[in-house]
Copies of this chain bind each other. A is one copy, B any other.
């Protein structure tokens, strides 16, 4: 079964790939709106973890809409959800039997409720796989410790390929006063290899 995994270079999407790897033929999908080259950090992390990687282009209009939404909200949740749903649709329109992501049972955002997963499955004739959706935070942390080499640090120093880097640039351009509200400094992680 050929599966494309939405991939950021972080712990969760790498762990999702590790769970599926023995039973699927995986490609890690590194998404970009074309705003920055940060997707290359995800490509590098995925290659360091031993997986094939592929660049996937997302619609920059969706990113601009999400940035405006985040600026208006003062928090990123709804905008991140909008972007993840767009990324799922783009991945689903490619040539895979399944698309996967690293959404976890205890995540507040992004989430893929069953209704959304089934809607994508029906419209694109593809399966959705979220192998961490039934796994608690404790087990995920323990598996990540056992399986992954992870670099952790402040969000402005860790180079990742998730949605945040490009959204930050868009917010700086048009809504600069909101950036520190929408993306306050926090601890990020990036995978640098598998154990």
Contact = CB atoms under 8 A, between A and B. Distances in A.
Interface of A: 1, 18-24, 97-98, 103, 105-106, 112, 114, 117-118, 121, 127-136, 138-139, 142-143, 146-147
A128 B121 CA distance: 27
A42 B22 CA distance: 24
A168 B127 CA distance: 35
A19 B118 contact: no
User: What 8 A-B pairs are tightest by C-beta distance, nearest first?
Assistant: A133-B134, A130-B134, A127-B139, A127-B138, A22-B22, A129-B135, A127-B136, A1-B142
Interface centre among A23, A118, A121, A142 (most CB of B within 10 A): A23
B128 A131 contact: no
B131 A134 contact: yes
B135 A132 contact: no
Nearest to A133: B134
Contacts of A1: 139, 142-143, 146
Contacts of A142: 1, 97, 127
A129 B133 CA distance: 9
Contacts of A20: 19
Contacts of A98: 139
A11 to B, nearest CB: 13
Contact of A18 (B23, B112, B134, B135): B23
A90 to B, nearest CB: 19
A114 to B, nearest CB: 6
Contacts of A112: 134
A103 B139 contact: no
Contacts of A103: 134
